[in-house]
Structure 1
Amino acid sequence: MRRQNKGNGGLYAVWFIILVATVAITRFYGLESSNFYGIAETREIVVNFEGAVEIKKINVTEGQSVEQGMLLVELSSPDLMLKINQISHQLDQLKAQKGVDKSEIQSRLRQLKAEKAAKESELRNQIAQLENQYKINKSLLSGLKSISGNGGYGNAEGSSPMELKIKSLKEELSLCVNPLAIQIELFEKILANSKNPVKIQVERLEQELTLLANENNKLNIYAQISGIIGSVNFKPGAKVSPFAPILTLHTRTPSFIKGYIYENAYADIAMDEHVNVASLAIADRNITGVVIGIGARIVAYPERLRKHPDLQMWGREVVIQIPENNHFILGEKVLITSSVKKPGGVEQLKRLFTPSESVADVLLACKNFLFEEDILPIIPLETQGIEASALLYLKDIDRYMVLSDDTPGNAPLVMLMDSHGRITRETAIAGLEKIDDMESVAEADQGILYISSSLSTAKNGKVKETRKNLVSVQRQGNHFTLVKTIDLYSQLMTHAQREAGQPWADFILGAISKKNLDMEGMMYREGSLFLGFKAPLMNKESVILKIDEIDCAMETQTFKPHQISIWRSFSLIPGKGQLQEGISDLLYFKGILYLTGTPLMKDKGSRSGTLWKLDEATGTPVCLAHFNDLQPEGVASGKEKNSLIICFDQGHKTKSKTCKIKVN
Structure 2
Amino acid sequence: MKQQSGFNWYYVFIGLLFVGMIYISGRYFKGSTSSSVGIASSKEYKINAEKASIVKSVLVVPGQQVKMGDLLMELSSTALDIEIEKLQDRLEVMRGEQQVKAKNVESKIAYIVADEGIVDEELEAEISQTQSEIELNRKLTKAFVKDSVSDDSKSPLQVKINSLREQQRKHQSAVDIKISDLQKDHALDQTQLINQIRLSERELALLLEEKKKLSKYAMNDGVIGNVYIKTGEQVNAFTPLLSVTPLRPAAVVAYLVGPKTSQFDVGSKVTVKAYGLQSANEVGGKVIGYGSVTELPEILQKSTAIKAFGREVFIEIEGNNELANGQKVLVK
TM-score band by shorter chain is 0.5 to 0.7
Q: SS at the partner of 1:246?
A: strand
- Relative distance call for 1:25 and 1:240 in structure 2 (3 A) is farther
Give the letter aligned to residue 26 of structure 1: L
Distance 1:193 1:202 in 2: 14
Distance 1:135 1:255 in 2: 102
Give the letter aligned to residue 22 of structure 1: F
Q: 2:218 aligns with which of 204, 219, 223?
A: 223
Distance 1:133 1:294 in 2: 107
Is 1:337 aligned to 2:301, yes or no?
Answer: yes
Distance 1:256 1:106 in 2: 66
Distance 2:75 2:214 in 1: 5
Kept after mapping to 1: 8 A contact 2:123/2:164:
yes
Aligned to 2:319: 382
- 1:487-522 per-residue CA deviation (whole Å, 9 max, x = no partner) reads xxxxxxxxxxxxxxxxxxxxxxxxxxxxxxxxxxxx
Q: CA deviation at 1:134?
A: 1.3
Distance 2:318 2:232 in 1: 31
Give the letter aligned to residue 336 of structure 1: L
Q: CA deviation at 1:125?
A: 0.8
Q: CA deviation at 1:100?
A: 1.5
Alignment of 1:476-515 (within 5 A): none
Distance 2:136 2:161 in 1: 15
Is 1:181 aligned to 2:176, yes or no?
Answer: yes
Q: CA deviation at 1:174?
A: 2.7
Distance 2:62 2:89 in 1: 42
Q: SS at the partner of 1:248?
A: strand
Q: CA deviation at 1:71?
A: 1.5
Aligned to 1:312: none
Q: 1:296 aligns with which of 269, 283, 292?
A: 292
Q: SS at the partner of 1:249?
A: strand
- Relative distance call for 1:39 and 1:166 in structure 2 (3 A) is closer
Q: CA deviation at 1:15?
A: 5.1
Distance 2:52 2:86 in 1: 19
Alignment of 1:53-452 (within 5 A): 53-145=53-145, 154=151, 159-187=154-182, 196-252=191-247, 295-296=291-292, 316=294, 318=296, 334-338=298-302, 377-380=314-317, 382=319
- 1:323-348 per-residue CA deviation (whole Å, 9 max, x = no partner) reads xxxxxxxxxxx443249xx9xxxxx9
Q: CA deviation at 1:22?
A: 3.4
Kept after mapping to 1: 8 A contact 2:52/2:236:
yes
Unaligned runs of 5+ in 1: 1-7, 261-265, 278-291, 298-315, 321-333, 343-347, 349-359, 361-373, 385-652, 655-664
Q: CA deviation at 1:119?
A: 0.7
Q: SS at the partner of 2:216?
A: strand
Aligned to 1:47: 47
Distance 1:246 1:33 in 2: 47
Q: SS at the partner of 1:228?
A: strand
Kept after mapping to 2: 8 A contact 1:271/1:294:
no
- 1:455-494 per-residue CA deviation (whole Å, 9 max, x = no partner) reads xxxxxxxxxxxxxxxxxxxxxxxxxxxxxxxxxxxxxxxx
Q: SS at the partner of 2:240?
A: coil
Q: CA deviation at 1:235?
A: 3.2
- 1:431-468 per-residue CA deviation (whole Å, 9 max, x = no partner) reads xxxxxxxxxxxxxxxxxxxxxxxxxxxxxxxxxxxxxx
Distance 2:152 2:18 in 1: 139
Bigger Rg over Cα = 2
Q: CA deviation at 1:92?
A: 0.6
Q: SS at the partner of 1:94?
A: helix
Distance 1:130 1:119 in 2: 17
Give the letter aligned to residue 154 of structure 1: D
Identity of counterpart residues, as a percentage? Answer: 25
Q: CA deviation at 1:129?
A: 0.9
Give the letter aligned to residue 83 of structure 1: E
* TM-score normalised by the chain length of structure 1: 0.35
Q: CA deviation at 1:122?
A: 0.9
Q: 2:17 aligns with which of 23, 26, 33?
A: 26
- Relative distance call for 1:111 and 1:40 in structure 2 (3 A) is closer
- Relative distance call for 1:45 and 1:98 in structure 2 (3 A) is same
- 1:633-655 per-residue CA deviation (whole Å, 9 max, x = no partner) reads xxxxxxxxxxxxxxxxxxxx87x
CA RMSD of aligned residues (A): 4.9
Q: SS at the partner of 1:382?
A: coil
- Relative distance call for 1:224 and 1:250 in structure 2 (3 A) is same
Distance 2:173 2:47 in 1: 71
Q: Which has the higher contact order (CA 8 A, sep 6+)?
A: 2
Give the letter aligned to residue 224 of structure 1: M
Structure with greater helix percent: 2
Give the letter aligned to residue 47 of structure 2: V
Give the letter aligned to residue 251 of structure 1: P
Kept after mapping to 2: 8 A contact 1:73/1:221:
yes
Distance 1:258 1:155 in 2: 109
